[in-house]
Structures are given as structure tokens and as C-alpha cells.
Structure 1
Amino acid sequence: MTAAKIRPALEGYLTERDGKPHLLGSRCTACGTYYFPRLDSFCRNPACDSTDFEEVPLSRSGRLWSYTNAAYQPPAPYIPVKDPYEPFAIAAVELEREGMIVLGQCAEGIAVEDLRVGTPMELIVEPLFSDDEGDAIIWKWKPQTAGADA
């Protein structure tokens, strides 16, 4: 990443804790259901009618629940971040503590052929794009290395 200012590509989706990136979610204070992205209107759990949430950093690790690829450039009005378009793998990861599924791109260099359902995965951040304001980072998933934690 460049020495310029680093910023999240999506404001309010990422936080840092103990020098490590975390997705930022919310938890219903009545029933304990987790949400990502953050939720602040009403609990979507049918058995709960609460409107109170606390902001929480989510687990950094989980297991690969499913995966696919983004082999084709999306149609207009979507603009590819890289020109020419480069296909990438997408992972659905079941978070370790929360048990919820979070989608995200896979890290640079991780292809669909490298993935298997059940693989331990960890959250990282990489630049999505760079401009005059610096790097805009996004969360991504990669197979977990020894010593990675939640």
C-alpha cells in the first residue's frame, strides 16, 4: 500500500482492534443476534421486537461455507475497479463466534481452485483502489495461516 492516507472503501464497515482489522457489526441487546453490516432499526429475528443494538467488532476467522467466482465484468452502470477487468474469487465465510455468513472477495492470488468448503479462513484488508486521497481498503478472505486468531 502507498504511504498516503489509507481509508476504508466503505465507511463504517471496518475497525481496528489490537492492530488487526475487524468487520464492524451490531448485536441485538435483547436476543444476541449479530448483524453485518451494522443494523440500528429493528431486530430481524422473528422472535424479538427489540430496537436496541450495540456496535461490535466481529470475528476475524471462520470456515469457508461456499465460494464462487466473478468471472465476468459486471454490466453498466457498475464500473470495474481494475481496467481491464480481472476475475476474482468470492468467499462466503461462516464467522467463528457469531455463526453468521459474510461474503467478501478473496485475497489477491487466491483463486477458486485454491478453495475447499470447510477451509479455515481469516480476514485481511487489501486496497480496492488508489486515488489522489490514497488507498481505499476493503475486507477480503484468505485461507488461515497458523497462529491467526478470532
Structure 2
Amino acid sequence: MVTGWFTGDGDDFRLLGTRCSVCSSVFFPREEGHCRNPGCVGGDLEEVPLSRRGHIWSYTDSRYRPPSPYVTDPELPWEPYALIAVELEAERIVVLGQAVPGVTVADLTVGMQVEAVPGVLYEDVETVWTTWQWRPTGVEA
């Protein structure tokens, strides 16, 4: 699990971002040191839960095994997955993530509503690497 990037489970699952106290810009992944808005003089950064839902801005599929530091077992066959760029409803920022297992690019359309849910990036006998994934909600924009 990437510590501090998300919290909760089920309907309480949320990605965590930060908001600048001066310009109100929201960032994901989190920012700890400074406001990334080049037009801002900077301010305190506050942790904020992000919208759970958004609309597909773009998508593609991953058909090759990515290089390190992505964790995969080279002994297992590579499973392609859909990668989705989602514009969050309230924040209007775009967040990338994998689609839930079983959802392919053939199931997706730009503008489709999706929600962030907990998912498993990889697991072995010792560790489960958790992450967020995007699941279609069935509501179109």
C-alpha cells in the first residue's frame, strides 16, 4: 500500500490529496512541501479526501509488462489491464488508475462515470500491495 494516498474501505474509500490554503489548488498525489501551482506564493497544505466519483477523461490498455519499480512476478503470464484517466467531480483534477479486474477498454467510453474502489495491485505469500482502481457505475455523463 502507498501510505497516505488513500483511506477507508467500501463506501468509505477515498483517495487523499492536499489543498493549498492560499490558492485552494488540490493535488494528487499528495504534496507535503510546497504548493505546485506556479502562480501561487504557497501556503499550508491540508490533507483532504477527494471525490470518490468522476468521469472518464481518457483511457488506454496496457499490453506489456512495465519495468521496475512496478512489482510483477516474471514467472506468471502478463495480464493486460485498462488504464483510466478520471476527472474527479468536485476537484476537476485528473487522476490515473487501473480499471477493476474484468473491465477492458471495450467496456469504457469517454464521459462514463466511475468510482474509486480499493484493489490489489499485486500479492505474494508475504505481502498484498493495495491500491485504488476505477469501477464503472453505469451512469453516463
TM class by shorter chain equals 0.7 to 0.9
Residue of structure 2 aligned with 1:36, choices 28, 33, 50: 28
1:89 lines up with 2:82 in the alignment: yes
What's the CA shift for 1:51?
Answer: 3.4
Relative to structure 1, the CA distance from residue 134 to residue 63 in structure 2 (aligned partners, 3 Å threshold; closer, same or farther) is same
Aligned-residue offset at 1:32? 0.6
TM superposition score normalised by structure 1? 0.82
* Cα separation, 1, equivalents of 2:129 and 2:69: 20
Say if 2:119 is the partner of 1:126. Answer: yes
- Given that 1:40 and 1:51 are in contact with CA atoms closer than 8 Å, whether structure 2 keeps it comes out as no
Q: Give 1:65's match in structure 2, choosing from 57, 71, 74.
A: 57
CA 136–25 in structure 1, closer or farther in 2 if over 3 Å, else same: same
**How far apart are residue 11 of structure 1 and its match?**
1.2
1:86 CA displacement = 0.4
Counterpart code for 1:29:
S
Shift of 1:103: 0.1
Unpaired runs of 5+ residues, structure 1, are 1-8
Cα contact 1:107–1:142 (8 A) shared by 2? yes
TM superposition score normalised by structure 2: 0.87
1:10 matched to which residue of 2? 2
**Do the aligned residues in 2 keep the contact of 1:59 with 1:98 (CA within 8 Å)?**
yes
Matching of residue 27 in structure 1 with residue 16 in structure 2: no
Q: Residues 112 and 138 of structure 2 are in contact (CA less than 8 Å); yes or no, is this contact kept in structure 1?
A: no
Alignment: residue pair count: 138
The one of the two structures with greater contact order (alpha-carbon pairs below 8 A, sep at least 6) is: 1
Identity among equivalent positions (%) equals: 44
Is residue 2:39 matched to residue 1:47? yes
Shift in Å at residue 23 of structure 1? Answer: 0.5
One-letter amino acid of the counterpart of residue 19, structure 2? R
Gaps of 5+ in 2: none
Cα distance change, pair 16–72 in 1 and its aligned pair in 2 (3 A): same
- Gap change, CA 1:60 and 1:81, over 3 Å in 2: farther
